[in-house]
Structure 1
Amino acid sequence: MTGPLRAGFIGGGFMAAVHTRASRAARGHPAALASSTPERGAQAARDLGVERSEPDAHSLTTAGDLDIVHVCSPNRLHTEHTLAALAAGAHVICEKPLATTAADAEHLVRAAREADRVAAVPFVYRYHPMARQARAFVAEGELGTVLTLDAAYLQDWLLDPDDTNWRADPEAGGASRAFADIGSHLCDLVEFVSGQRIHRLTARTRTVFGRRADTEVTNEDTAALLVELGNGALGTLLVSQLAPGRKNSLTLELHGTRQSARFEQERPEELWIGRREGSHLLLRDPATAAPDSARMSVLPPGHALGYQDAFTAFVTDVYSAVQGGRPEGMPTFADGLRAARLTEAVLASAAQHGAWIETAPETSPETEDRT
């Protein structure tokens, strides 16, 4: 495949803006966009600098001139839109959650495999250079054996009962909200950086406001988990969309037998390293970083990289994979399926008043996707 990839986008909101910027920065060509109505699609295409609008998702996926489709529609439509894009021969980036049920997520993994298409989910926090550096430290034994971890993803955008969003409607967003939306990111980063799967978990969830505007809310505002990794390490995870002052506070701290490491998404240029005899901040520097971290460092030290840069790095990797590359650590539909299974385990545990649920990964050729 030569020349810029022609990209289509289903959705016209915040995430579509992030995706179109990343596509352009990754040297793709934003060619078409469809939103919930023809009018909204036309306006979003103009606002985001996309070549044309299509009246609906069906028209976009059947247009025949797109190499890749970015699915940024509401959660309940992910399966429908992704299957249509794959059937049309396009590669796909689908926003998380990949699907609102693990069964649908598994269906999408198989469909992508059968179509032999690149299929990716934007777990983009693994694209911060210092998250990759933490991962390298774990893999190289710099931390020693990981014993415990402390992780959280906190936001405040649904703090008040008058705050609402389509995600609060279980028909549109799914049975899980806070965990499926941001807890999935947190678990992906835990497993990616630690190199260990979550093998067991116990969870409690809480829906603080049973109604938002005209919507009856049954999906959760907060979730708290205790997890056990494959090597026996224990960890605590807190997820909330009702934490005053926390805008996008994703943190991961790993405690090993030699030293600790802490990554904070809102301070992405640094990694805290803790030792018994003294601690320090390690600042991003590609000259001294692990190779995979240096690969993400597209700017010199002191020139801050942030969320949009991480998203661009993810899209760049996906576009590379479409053109035959095999980028290290690219999150695929298999990772989206893993997140869907963990989400269902959290809901099952909470429904059983915190019962321990086994979450050891199940892998087979039928449920792996093309990377």
Structure 2
Amino acid sequence: MVVSGAGMIGAVHAAAIRAAGGELAGVVASTPERSARAADEWGAPGRYPDFAAVLADDSVSVVHVCTPNALHVGQAEAALRAGKHVICEKPLATTAADAERLTGLAREAGLVLAVPFVYRYHPLVREIRERRLRGEFGAWQLLHGSYLQDWMLSENAMSWRVDPADGGPSRAFADIGSHWCDLVEWVTGVRFTTLTARLGTTVATRPAGTGASFATTGEGPRVRVRTEDVATVLLRTDGGVLGTLAVSQVSAGRKNRLWFELDGSAASAVFDQESPETVWLGAPDGARVLVRDPNHGSAEQRRLSRLPAGHAQGYADCFNSFVADAYAAIRGEAPEGLPTGEDGVRSARIVEAVLTSSASLTWVDVDPAPTAPVAPTALTALESTA
């Protein structure tokens, strides 16, 4: 297994490879020097000067794409065409058309294409989903929540994600709002069919480049911000249920708070990613807090509970479980809930609908309208029988 990309998420993938029992053969970064430095830091034996060298190495069966968003399509496609399975960071692509093309390519080649919507792997998320499958919540009445961070709160904070050329046309929603939508759709069993969204940029300019000059001198050139810091979305499901979502990368004190409440006709459930060891379950006669426990609950909660109750699990455990399931799929197994290329396509369509709605100030359909069949002309009818 090789990791492409030496940033924070690349390091998370490298650790998950080993936790899943895989062999980290090497890492390839933006330059040969950075590749070698990351390989030393991560203890990877391979030294790849560029991505072409990874593709040429027949001993590499899986490529983890952890590069800036604009590079995902090219690297994932090249790896798939080289006969390698791909685990590609989200977004799978910055357009739905590209995501569909990649997913079709993987399907035709019989290769695994997995996308790390890893919040599915919190054991108590699985518990809520199983209770929904058993009918415990009844018909959904309202789905609501938020995904809040503060890492872009400072006007001097900067990242490659801010530039649409590197990160794509959406930042806050594509980066974290996409996680919320994937998780809520998967847990509840609904599909969001229409939405109306508004995007906002609260910091008008940010440091050019990496912002290193601001970190040392507080001075330097600034650029206009062309991606959103915040988003609000009103959603409607295929069954007509309403949902609301607030997304922010500028909410002080919120580090990675993915929160949802699912309100049903018989019961409700609340999950907070920053406190993943418990969920709140509501009923007409009261409420209770359920604690993660490998000795109780659904089979999936027990499977993903790597530690005894009271020994906190978190994001890294989710990632490790996701990678382990991706490798199980490569071995021909069918693990429950593995997010694949199809989920990447779904996410890309929601992102595009959000962008379209914010620009047009209208309700927008998430799924493309089916194309009406075209009646054959006399000429095409003759051609079909030739």
TM-score class, shorter? over 0.9
CA distance, structure 2, for counterparts of residue 293 and residue 241 of structure 1: 30
Once the two structures are TM-superposed, the CA of residue 361 in structure 1 deviates from its matched residue by 7.5
CA distance, structure 2, for counterparts of residue 318 and residue 327 of structure 1: 8
Aligned length: 357
Matches within 5 A, 1:115-134: 115-134=109-128
Q: TM-score, normalised by structure 2?
A: 0.90
Is 2:312 the counterpart of 1:304?
yes
Moved more, 50-59 or 323-332: 50-59
Deviant stretches of 4+, over 6 Å: none
Moved more, 68-77 or 231-240: 231-240
Corresponding position of 2:366: 359
Matches within 5 A, 1:160-179: 160-179=154-173
State the Cα deviation string for residues 238-284 of structure 1 (Å, max 9, x = none). Answer: 11100000000001110011111001111111110112221110001
Corresponding position of 1:368: none
Is 2:51 the counterpart of 1:60?
no
From 320, 335, 338, the equivalent of 1:330 is 338
Q: TM-score, normalised by structure 1?
A: 0.94
Once the two structures are TM-superposed, the CA of residue 119 in structure 1 deviates from its matched residue by 0.5
Is 2:106 the counterpart of 1:112?
yes
Is 2:206 the counterpart of 1:199?
no
Give the greater-gyration-radius structure (CA).
Answer: 2
Is 2:278 the counterpart of 1:280?
no
CA distance, structure 2, for counterparts of residue 252 and residue 55 of structure 1: 44
Report if the CA contact (8 A) 1:169-1:216 is conserved.
Answer: no
Corresponding position of 1:291: 299
* SS of 1:144 mapped into structure 2: coil
CA distance, structure 2, for counterparts of residue 33 and residue 290 of structure 1: 38
Corresponding position of 2:379: none
Corresponding position of 2:26: 32
State the Cα deviation string for residues 57-100 of structure 1 (Å, max 9, x = none). Answer: 12112222111000000000000100111111110000000011
CA distance, structure 2, for counterparts of residue 24 and residue 242 of structure 1: 34
CA distance, structure 2, for counterparts of residue 28 and residue 267 of structure 1: 29
Once the two structures are TM-superposed, the CA of residue 362 in structure 1 deviates from its matched residue by 8.0
From 6, 10, 13, the equivalent of 2:4 is 10
Once the two structures are TM-superposed, the CA of residue 285 in structure 1 deviates from its matched residue by 1.3
State the Cα deviation string for residues 89-125 of structure 1 (Å, max 9, x = none). Answer: 1100000000111111111111111221000000000
- Letter paired with 2:305: S
CA distance, structure 2, for counterparts of residue 45 and residue 69 of structure 1: 15
* SS of 2:353 mapped into structure 1: helix
* SS of 2:174 mapped into structure 1: helix
Corresponding position of 1:320: 328
CA distance, structure 2, for counterparts of residue 313 and residue 333 of structure 1: 18
Corresponding position of 2:265: 257
CA distance, structure 1, for counterparts of residue 191 and residue 243 of structure 2: 12
* SS of 1:279 mapped into structure 2: strand
- Letter paired with 2:224: E
Identity %: 50
Can you give the 5+ residue segments of structure 1 that lack an aligned partner in the other structure? 1-6, 364-371
Is 2:234 the counterpart of 1:226?
yes
Report if the CA contact (8 A) 2:349-2:367 is conserved.
Answer: no
Can you give the 5+ residue segments of structure 2 that lack an aligned partner in the other structure? 209-222, 371-386
Is 2:360 the counterpart of 1:345?
no
